Amino acid sequence: MKKKLWLVLLLVFGLSLSTSLAQDWAAGIKVSTMGGNIDVYRSFGEKFNVHVGYNYFALTQSLGETEDYKTEGKIGLSSISALGDFFPFESSTFRITGGIMYNLNVIDATLTPTREYTVGGDTYSPEELGNLDASIEFNKFSPYLGLGFGNPTSGDAGFGFVFDVGTMYQGTAVVDLQAEGLLKPSASEDQAQRIQDNLSWFQWYPVVSLGITYKF
Residue-wise pLDDT tens digits, 150-188: 999 998 999 999 999 999 999 999 999 999 888 888 888
Residue 139 maps to a domain:
yes
CB 38 within 8 Å of CB 54: yes
Residue 130 maps to a domain:
yes
65 or 133, which is more confident? 133
Which pLDDT score is estimated for 23?
66
Residue 145 has pLDDT above 90, yes or no: yes
The Cα–Cα gap between 41 and 25 comes to 6
CB 210 within 8 Å of CB 148: no
Residue 152 maps to a domain:
yes
The burial class, CB within 10 Å (0-12 / 13-18 / 19+), for 71 is middle
Residue 188 maps to a domain:
yes
The Cα–Cα gap between 81 and 77 comes to 13
Distances (CA, A) of 18 to 9, 21, 197: 14, 5, 53
Q: What is the mean pLDDT of residues 141-146?
A: 98
Residue 20 has pLDDT above 70, yes or no: no
Rounded to 5 degrees, φ, ψ at 203 are: -75, -25
Q: What is the mean pLDDT of residues 22-49?
A: 93
Query: What CATH number should be reported for the domain holding residue 80?
Result: 2.40.160.170
Residue 14 maps to a domain:
no
Residue 1 maps to a domain:
no
Distances (CA, A) of 186 to 176, 180, 203, 204: 12, 9, 25, 29
pTM of the predicted model, to two decimals?
A: 0.80
Residue 147 maps to a domain:
yes
Q: How many domains does the chain have?
A: 1
Handedness of CA 7, 10, 16, 20 (dihedral sign): negative
End-to-end, the C-alpha distance of the chain in Å comes to 42
66 or 95, which is more confident? 95
Strands 158-169 and 141-149: antiparallel
What percent of the chain has a predicted confidence (pLDDT) above 70? 89
Domain span at residue 106 reads: 21-215
Residue 9 maps to a domain:
no
